[in-house]
Amino acid sequence: MRLFALLSALGLSLIAPAQERVIVDGSIDGVVPRDGVPINVVADDRAFGDQVRAALGVHGALNLRPDASARVTISRSALTATAACDHPRFAFQTSVEGRDEHDLILQVADAIVVGLGKRWQLKPLFAGTKVAFVSRYSGKQEIYVTNLARSRFLRLTNYQSTTNSPRWSADGARVYFVTSYRSGFPEILSSNGIGEAAKVITNVRGALGGASSGPDGRIAFASSNKGTMDIFVAGPHGESPRLAVGTEGVDSDPCWSPDGTRFALTSGPLGHPGIYLANTAGGVLTRVATGYNYSTEPRWNPVFPNQIAFTYQSGGLGLGLIDLGAGAVTKIPAVSALNLSHASWCADGRHLLATQESARTGWIVVVDTVSGKVTRLSPAAMGDCSEPDCWVRR
């Protein structure tokens, strides 16, 4: 989040990421090429096939090429489709049904990823991930939602005011966000895209951070309502807020562990943010040594609970990965030299959404934490985009 954009500097011996070994064409036992295993996807419905290819194009383990020997065919009838591959190393056939056109695209893309990726246990990515983000498309910061196929964009807010920090509710039915359009002071609201947004946290004065939803539906958020920036926990509608983490420094950006027992958060004196862990019931903070002087925006992996992604500053901004089990910190590889920040995990626990920025604008990208592939998700027509947040099916 951008709350710490004005903060500078905490302190990594980097550990090289493990290489991913798979069987590729023929009998070659080797490492997946950096640009992914080549596949050719064809469909009896051309427009539908184009949308499935657009989704698959973000996956770091796959490389869409018309000359690839691994050929995947898609046959579609209404809201049912079959995906199949007869290549001896990747053979599979799967039929799926979708709730609507958009869901069918995502279901087929997942069927192809899982079918082709059996040897290296690729997990579903698309149907279990929903995306919320901030865009200045209208000239003001507003909240939008989309999917990883980019087949539909929904504008969630239209306040012509500063609106930011989107966070999905635990059930994926609503998006929390911060806006000051009603009172001139920041408030947390939530919306399901239909009707008037619901007010969640009221009577707040000063800085206010996004509401992170825990697995049981409770929300955690940062507020300076008591003077210092501290972490509060409340019910799904903002009821019965209580102080959970309060230090003399700036406490912000709480992220729940998958089991709901701990927070990863940003904390530290002004200008020196770092990553800390805390019990959600309260208690002492434990610092996680990242090796960087600036570490912020922790995001707990929903699939691999020992992993936490974070943003670090070392010249520019990049993404790091904390492995709590191994006690190791690695730099997430990225094939782009541009700044990357504000990551959020997708449903497979392998890919992240992040904000990528040039000197003039920002956009949303998908980052493969294994290969380092970076793929733009938000179209140029959406203008300056940032702060992606993923809801993932649990």
> What is the sign of the dihedral through the CA atoms of 228, 233, 237 and 240?
negative
Predicted pLDDT at 228: 84
Check residue 122 and report its DSSP letter.
P
Name the strand (E) or helix (H) holding 115. helix 101-116
* Virtual torsion, Cα 88, 90, 94, 100, nearest 10 deg: -140
Predicted pLDDT at 34: 62
Structure tokens belonging to residue 36 = 């992914």
Distance (Å, rounded) from C-alpha 24 to C-alpha 35?
A: 13
- Strand spans (E) along 69-217: 71-77, 80-85, 92-97, 129-135, 142-146, 154-155, 163-168, 175-179, 187-191, 198-201, 212-213
pLDDT average per 10 residues of sequence, the chain (394 residues): 31 31 34 74 97 97 95 98 95 97 98 94 96 94 96 91 93 92 84 77 68 95 85 89 88 96 90 92 90 95 97 94 96 90 98 95 96 95 96 90
User: Residue 313, SS3?
Assistant: strand
- Model confidence, pTM: 0.89
Predicted pLDDT at 353: 98
Predicted pLDDT at 85: 97
Domains and CATH numbers, the chain: 2-16+128-392 (2.120.10.30), 32-120 (3.30.160.150)
Q: 37 CB contacts (<8 Å, ≥6 apart)?
A: 22, 24, 61, 62, 63, 70, 116
C-alpha atoms less than 13 angstroms from C-alpha of 149 in its C-beta half-sphere: 22
The label of the residue with tokens 């999917």 reads 147
Distance (Å, rounded) from C-alpha 363 to C-alpha 346?
A: 17
Predicted pLDDT at 205: 58
- Does residue 290 contact residue 284 with C-beta atoms inside 8 Å? no
Q: 95 CB contacts (<8 Å, ≥6 apart)?
A: 80, 81, 82
Q: 278 CB contacts (<8 Å, ≥6 apart)?
A: 231, 244, 245, 262, 263, 265, 284, 285, 286
